Amino acid sequence: MDGATTTARKIMVVADPGRESAGALQWALSHAVLEHDELILLHIENSGSWRNTFTTFIKRPSSGAHHTTSTSIEGGGGDLEFLEQMKKACEALQPKIPVHIERVDMGGKDKASAILSQSKKLSIDVLVIGQRRSISNAILG
């Protein structure tokens, strides 16, 4: 940049508990995020899946409860605990960058449409998505 004041960009990383998402976040932090940017971790939820129906049922508070307990059928803590872990990792690596978590229901759309819709809604400048293919498959086709 030419030394002039740079405008803050909104950078969104699609977040899920997989290693591809962690790789995308690591890439974004080391290659895309600048000092004045804002980082948004987007998690797309599918309310129609049996897993979310079941975990919602488990988390439903009893009539006298003040808070819900987080129980995961996936094991290892809360089912969305990975979002907080990703946020804390971002804050440790880039302490000056504000990090926000967005959770969005697919709302009957496919995942790609939900991601693009949220990107437009939030005026995202850079969108980073992990890839499940191996590097050799990506190169060789």
* pTM for this predicted structure: 0.71
The dihedral through the CA atoms of 127, 128, 133, 137 has a sign that is positive
Predicted confidence (pLDDT) per residue in 76-119, tens digit: 345 689 999 999 999 999 999 999 999 999 888 899 999 999 99
Q: Kindly report the CATH number that applies to the domain delimited by 10-140.
A: 3.40.50.620
Q: Give the amino acid at 23.
A: G
Q: Give the amino acid at 67.
A: H
Predicted confidence (pLDDT) per residue in 3-62, tens digit: 556 789 999 999 999 999 999 999 999 999 999 999 999 999 987 655 544 444 444 444
- Could you give the dihedral angle defined by the CA atoms of residues 70, 41, 110 and 135, in that order, rounded to the nearest 10 degrees? -110
The dihedral through the CA atoms of 95, 97, 98, 103 has a sign that is negative
